[in-house]
Structure 1
């Protein structure tokens, strides 16, 4: 419980926490953020890491000019982290398969796999790109692609496009928009809005799946 409380505080006040990281670790911040992005995209058990808000907040802080960090170095390193992370997740999917998901697991819920698989089936290879912008889905989708034995060359094509698009759009959005007075004055609100907007599709999919299950159960009972 304490971990999730810390995680929520980290997301809601991510700019303050990043400022502390930059102050304490300076250029090692590149490596720390590399590892966070790599972990979120590379390990199927870490879908809770705050990629979107972290990227936007980091772009904003760099634009402020007091970090000593380069937005271009950060952009390059985080794109590499996102691509390598998805590649690792794909490999884990090919080796571990669907058996790691089950109904009792609070993190690797079977419904997450089912929702991601449906998303993957509907959109095909483009799901690897689309999922980059959807928390939980972006962590599960490359794993599902590995389980489905999607050709690695085809997966890599979509993986690179998605990784470049995701990192560039969020980091540069923070860099370009974060210093606008109204955004800067309401930064906490902006971060919450980013979290709500990006998590909404995952929440909607989970609720729809839950209602469908209830409907199926009622039909079975009637029969």
Structure 2
């Protein structure tokens, strides 16, 4: 019960802060909030975006401005993380992987190769998946996806995601919380799949390590 109250209080503070920001600088405030959400994934866009739609419905700015500025904020935040990935680069990540237990430099090579082949779809659809919305920008930078392509795919995917939640705030008004229940289900599903994937990876690597120790020739 305490956790639910704390979460509700935290979201209320965030919602109030977002509204205050938009009251002070208008639609660019929504863009700034979304840019920060990209850099700090724990900040939920599912709260910020409906507040932008709600403010637009009250006449603080137009619906078009809400959509444009939130999408601009998404692009700015995404390019910041893209820059981080580009700075890290394949060589640095390979060096890190060589020092981390259960990881191999070849894992980085395979990931970069996969992203080179499927990166376009990953960036576009990744912008609509909680948690991965921000993180997908880093491998795009590591693989050095062309800036124009990354920007275009990020803008398109972000516009779709932003429009859904901005319109929820626009049409639902003060009842925008209705959408939270559905978003929570998606978030739990994504987190669950990530946990299962990581657990399977660790299990497979440990099993391979033990097998190689029993039979060095197999390694």
What TM-score comes out, normalization by structure 2 length? 0.70
* Residue among 130, 135, 141 paired with 2:136: 141
Aligned residues: 197
Deviations 1:96-121 (A, max 9, x none): 33658979xxxxxx9xx98xx58846
> What residue in structure 1 maps to residue 100 of structure 2?
none
1:128-155 CA distance string (max 9 Å, x none): 1111112221211112111111122222
What is the match of residue 106 of structure 1? none
Following superposition, the deviation at residue 192 of structure 1 comes to: 3.7
19, 22, 31: which one aligns with 1:22: 19
Residue range with higher mean Cα deviation, 150-159 or 125-134: 150-159
Q: Find out whether 1:59 has 2:59 as its counterpart.
A: no
Report the Cα distance in structure 1 between the residues aligned to 2:86 and 2:21, rounded to whole angstroms: 39
**Aligned match for 2:60, one of 56, 61, 68:** 68
Task: Quote the residue 1:196 is aligned against.
Answer: 185
In structure 2, list runs of 5 or more residues that go unmatched: 98-102, 215-219
CA RMSD in angstroms, aligned pairs only: 3.7
Report the CA distance shift for 1:40/1:86 in structure 2 as closer, same or farther (over 3 A).
Answer: same
- 1:151-190 → structure 2 map (5 Å cutoff): 151-176=146-171, 178-179=172-173, 184=175, 188=177, 190=179
Match of 1:216 in 2: 205
- Segments of structure 1 that go 5 or more residues without pairing to the other structure are 104-109
Residue by residue over 1:42-66, the C-alpha shift from the partner in whole angstroms, topping out at 9 and shown as x without a partner, is x3xx222211232134324543x3x
Say if 1:54 and 1:7 are closer, same or farther in 2 by CA, change over 3 A: farther
Larger helix proportion of the pair: 2
